[in-house]
């Protein structure tokens, strides 16, 4: 779907979209449309339950007095609460209503709404961003589809004054949208397509944007002593990989980078501690943390962020076989610390242990943020609304929380502490990889903290937010790419050359 910006006009074909605030008068554009339809707009609103509430829509087919095929009203909620996220929902809800409705093109009128502080160009840019995100589809493997289910919308134009300002504002958001779609593709692909080797190849495509890529094979990782990561993948026919991505965008090439680390288990059977068969197909997206890190580096490079950034992803497949890791095995991590493997299905923390240690040891970053679909316990704690946040640094935690709120990817901070740390004490090794059912997400984070070596660090457990089983205003059900927009916003707000601290 093509996104365009133009000056206000009177469309003669396709669909026309106008925003309506809750409980207020119709904006000028809607008033003009009401007059053109001889009061038809007002009568349609009065006859139904459309009140302009957030996410409400009302469609008028072949409206009298207009040449368009349909007029779509989209509720934006109370004007005083209208912000960038509400603007994104406006665009997303418009696309959801029109994508397969039959029209090839549509125009969205961006009008002034009393009480809204965003200017028209900002509203148009964010509405376009939301529309782009909601239009995502993964149709690669479809060989047949009902006509009524096929997308028809080819072009969405935002009518705004001045259009040039809106187009400029959208350019940065478009780079993030493209990275989000790329991430969704990676997470959605089946595990017979995305393996450690092929995911590493996908990461290599970032080189076209100027990202330096380095791929470590098992021989290289064995030489570094990454026994924790290698132990997870030893039961698979697919070799494990560690991918290092570097974006050098700061004025000083030697400036300490920001660092993002991702868990990339391309399929998680649970290993010898095998999972129940019901729902196991979902474990293709146990690499969502790694995909998010790859997507974040893509976004930073595409918009030429003025920052030095490192992305490190540990890529493995966790399978049961005669060569697989067993419960009770002891492995030695790159840090030299030994780990008793109590449960082979608690594998993501073993992958991250070596990836975190490698990152802090080699790059000496300003901070490290890791992302992982790490624990089912976080879903029990927070459902699918928030990702879990654990951090050793309060300022980093506050900045991540603020960035998440700004982009609609909320985080909830959970505690760390000595009592939880004691739960992972092993009788025969330095630690064990699980601490029992109680506080399972917390003990997993405590495990990771042992490999951060006092570097400012945060852990995002995205097990409940990486995949959605329902549509939202800006995301169709499926892979969400949770974290890409968040981390991009974190960097933009605090760590780029201009105004960085």
- Residue ranges of the annotated binding site for Mn(2+) are 263, 268, 286, 345, 347
Report the distance separating Cα 260 and Cα 352, nearest Å: 11
- Single out the catalytic residue among 133, 167, 349, 399: 349
Give the number of other Cβ atoms within 10 Å of residue 25's Cβ.
Answer: 11
Element (H, E) at 388: strand 387-391
Annotated binding site: which residue ranges? 263, 268, 286, 345, 347
Query: Would strands 15-20 and 105-109 be described as parallel, antiparallel, or unpaired?
Result: parallel
Element (H, E) at 214: strand 212-216
Phi, psi for residue 248 in degrees, rounded to 5: -105, 85
Using alpha carbons only, what angle is made at residue 55 by residues 49 and 59, rounded to the nearest 5 degrees? 55
**R_g of the chain, CA atoms, integer Å:** 24
Report the distance separating Cα 403 and Cα 408, nearest Å: 9
DSSP string across 93-160: HHHHHHTTSS-SEEEEE----TT--S-HHHHHHHHHHHHHHHT----TT-S---GGGS----EEEEE-
- Single out the catalytic residue among 275, 306, 405, 413: 275
Angstrom distances, CA of residue 11 to CA of 24, 61, 158, 166, 313: 26, 15, 12, 20, 48
Report the distance separating Cα 148 and Cα 433, nearest Å: 50
Active-site residue flag, 49: no
Q: Which of 200, 171, 212 is nearest to 314 (CA)?
A: 200
Angstrom distances, CA of residue 86 to CA of 106, 122, 130, 217, 289: 20, 12, 9, 45, 27
Instruction: Name the E strands within 305-366.
Output: 308-318, 330-332, 338-340
| Residue 6 bridge partners (DSSP) | 159
Active-site residue flag, 349: yes
Give the number of other Cβ atoms within 10 Å of residue 321's Cβ.
Answer: 13
Query: Please, what is the end-to-end C-alpha distance for the chain in angstroms?
Result: 39
Written as six digits, the tokens of 310 are 């490192």
Residues annotated catalytic, as ranges: 275, 349
């Amino acid at each position: 779907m093509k996104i365009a910006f133009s000056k206000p006009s009177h469309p003669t074909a396709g669909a026309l979209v106008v925003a309506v605030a809750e409980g207020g008068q119709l904006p000028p554009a809607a008033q003009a449309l009401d007059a053109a339809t001889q009061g038809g707009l007002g009568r349609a609103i009065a006859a139904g339950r459309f009140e302009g509430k957030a996410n409400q829509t009302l469609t008028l087919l072949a409206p009298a007095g207009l040449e368009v095929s349909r007029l779509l009203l989209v509720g934006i909620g109370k004007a005083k609460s209208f912000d960038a996220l509400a603007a994104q929902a406006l665009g997303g809800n418009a696309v959801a209503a029109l994508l397969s409705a039959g029209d090839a093109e549509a125009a969205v009128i961006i009008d002034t709404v009393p009480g809204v502080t965003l200017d028209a160009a900002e509203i148009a840019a964010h509405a376009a961003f939301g529309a782009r995100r909601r239009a995502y589809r993964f149709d690669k493997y479809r060989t047949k589809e009902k006509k009524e289910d096929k997308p028809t919308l080819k072009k969405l134009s935002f009518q705004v004054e001045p259009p040039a300002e809106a187009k400029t504002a959208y350019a940065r958001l478009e780079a993030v949208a493209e990275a989000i779609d790329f991430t969704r593709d990676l997470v959605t692909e089946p595990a017979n397509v995305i393996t450690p080797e092929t995911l590493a190849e996908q990461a290599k495509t970032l080189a076209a944007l100027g990202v330096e890529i380095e791929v470590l094979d098992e021989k290289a990782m064995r030489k570094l002593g990454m026994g924790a990561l290698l132990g997870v993948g030893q039961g698979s026919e697919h070799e494990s990989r560690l991918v290092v991505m570097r974006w050098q965008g700061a004025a000083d090439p030697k400036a300490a980078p920001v660092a993002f680390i991702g868990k990339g288990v391309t399929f998680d059977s649970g290993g010898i501690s095998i999972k129940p068969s019901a729902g196991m197909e979902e474990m293709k997206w146990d690499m969502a943390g790694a995909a998010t890190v790859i997507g974040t580096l893509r976004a930073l490079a595409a918009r030429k962020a003025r920052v030095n950034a490192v992305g490190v992803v540990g890529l493995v497949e966790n399978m049961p076989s005669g060569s697989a890791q067993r419960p009770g095995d002891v492995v030695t991590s790159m840090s030299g610390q030994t780990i008793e493997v109590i449960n082979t299905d608690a594998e993501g923390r073993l992958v991250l242990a070596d990836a975190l240690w490698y990152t802090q040891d080699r790059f000496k970053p300003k901070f490290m943020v890791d992302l992982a679909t790490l624990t089912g316990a976080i879903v029990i704690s927070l459902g699918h609304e928030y990702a879990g946040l654990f951090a050793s640094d309060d300022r980093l935690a506050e900045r991540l929380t603020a960035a998440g709120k700004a982009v609609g990817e909320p985080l909830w901070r959970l505690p760390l502490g000595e009592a939880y740390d004691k739960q992972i004490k092993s009788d025969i090794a330095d630690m064990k990889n699980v601490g029992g059912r109680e506080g399972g997400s917390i003990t997993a984070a405590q495990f990771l903290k042992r490999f951060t070596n006092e570097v400012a660090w945060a852990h995002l457990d995205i097990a409940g937010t990486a995949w959605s089983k329902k549509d939202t205003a800006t995301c169709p059900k499926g892979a969400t790419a949770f974290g890409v927009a968040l981390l991009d916003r974190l960097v933009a707000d605090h760590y780029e050359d201009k105004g960085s601290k």
